[in-house]
Chains A and B, each alone.
Chain A
Amino acid sequence: MSRFGFLLTAFLFACFSVSPAQAQQNVLHEEHSLYRNILVTQNGNERCMLFRARRGLGRESCKNTAEPEKFVFEYASMMMASLFLNPDPERILIIGLGGGTLPDALQAMLPNAVIHTVEIDPAVERIAMEYFDFTLGPNTESFISDGRVFVKRALNDGVKYDLVMLDAFEADYIPEHMLTQEFLEEVKGIMTPDGVLAANTFSGSALYDYESVTYRAVFGEFYNVKYANRIILAKADGIPPMDVVRANAQRWSEQLLRRGANPDFVLPIMTTRVDWDSSVPILTDQFSPSNVLNTMRRN
């Protein structure tokens, strides 16, 4: 075989060979959407939506098909801790749908709340409905839109929310226009004075410092919740003290425990401690190299 032929064969093999992770799992659905390659897999009772990522596959959303109410990932429990800051949100905005875990739980826990979900990729919404039993409750409306565009429109229209959940970041790709001071100011602008922001982000890379100072600049002190992921819990009018947080957690504890979300797991890891370098610049629309920073190690 010529060298060219060998290289071509090797290339084709690399392209089409099945990765070990994929081989063990039963792939129910594979789709090249407008924005990414999406896989739906079933592994025992665990059904996952995966986005192809730099290091193999990133699990975006998983559901336990035997116990569909139970959260599979800790991050969902951590996001739910937003209810400890404001226990009765009436209007909720969720940016980034995934398998619909968060809106699903909130629809059941707060049947009277108005919920708006925003997802950029229509394929994700379709797959959530087809494979993850995500259904829109009577007060839930779903929108296909870029998250920032939706927030800016809401701001223009004077729409307000008591709870904003930001879950639009992938392991490999951050929409950079949704991690800037200007964006967070816009989000703050659509929050009621008692409104809460829960953002599911990262904790490992150099971005950690930049992200922290940016949230801090807009919201002041926030609760940092770290366990694999990083959740930022901020409030428009300042976060309540931990005794108020614990009392609110008590109110939701039964509902959350049923979902496998133990408040006693989240409460001890909620902290306001500044464990980042405060001297880095704030991310702005003018300066937002988030994806590059996310590939760099922390100093």
Chain B
Amino acid sequence: MQQRSTFWPLLIAGWSGFYVMLVELLSGRFIAPFFGSSVYVWGSVIFVFMLGLAVGYLLGGMYSRHNPSITRLCAILIASATTTLPMLLFGEHLLNFVFDHITDPRTGSLVTCVLLYFVPTVFAGMISPYAIRIIIKNRESSGYDAGYLYFVSTVGSSAGTLLTSFYFVLWFEVNMILIASIGFSYFLGLLGIIVNRGKA
């Protein structure tokens, strides 16, 4: 029983770390045709992802105080995947629109990043503190548990960064990588909900 209650939070946190960096790297690819790949474009991307995660940590911590459960954690992952969909569905139109109305590439890339990536990143940020709340057994081991979860989640981020930039972009189209990773988030989230249904 104890086994399962740490397995899922760690799995979700690890995948979420992977997913966030995958989306972040592809977002640069996505924006380049419109605003270039200069240093301020990457500045906008990183700024929005960092701010989104920060807000997510805050909200995730707050949300964890009300009946935390693995099924809700899975629902947060699904929410993060769902709010990434606009990038796929309207990303191009949005970029065209922003490009037509904002000439400065700094403002243009910043506005695009806020509109497309802020919300999914907030949901992704909520996962770590929420998962920590689930796996913590007692006060003495809380630091250990939190540290272990950060370890798993950040190893996920590292892997997501390296695999995406070294291999995925060489093997697949950008949209295909996105669809697959969104699909895997849904799969993992739904499976987690089914397996952990009715448990605290």
Contacts and interface: CB of A to CB of B under 8 A. Distances in A.
A153 B169 CA distance: 27
A146 B33 contact: no
Chain B, interface size: which category?
20 to 34
Nearest to A150: B36
Interface residues of A, number: 25
Interface stretch (B47-55, B76-84, B98-106, B137-145): B98-106
Nearest to A287: B173
Given A35-B39, A149-B105, A153-B103, A177 B33 contact: yes
B100 A156 contact: yes
Given A152-B99, A156-B100, A289 B35 contact: no
A292 interface: yes
B contact face: mostly helix, strand, loop, or mixed: helix
A146 B38 contact: yes
Contacts of B174: 285-287
A289 B36 contact: no
Interface in A167-192: 175-177, 180, 182-183
B123 to A, nearest CB: 25
Given A152-B99, A153-B103, A156-B100, A146 B36 contact: yes
B1 interface: no
B170 interface: yes
5 contacts: A152-B99, A287-B174, A289-B169, A292-B166, A292-B169
Interface of A: 34-35, 120, 145-149, 152-153, 156, 175-177, 180, 182-183, 284-289, 292-293
Given A146-B37, A149-B34, A285-B32, 7 more contacts: A120-B38, A148-B36, A156-B100, A177-B36, A182-B33, A286-B173, A286-B175
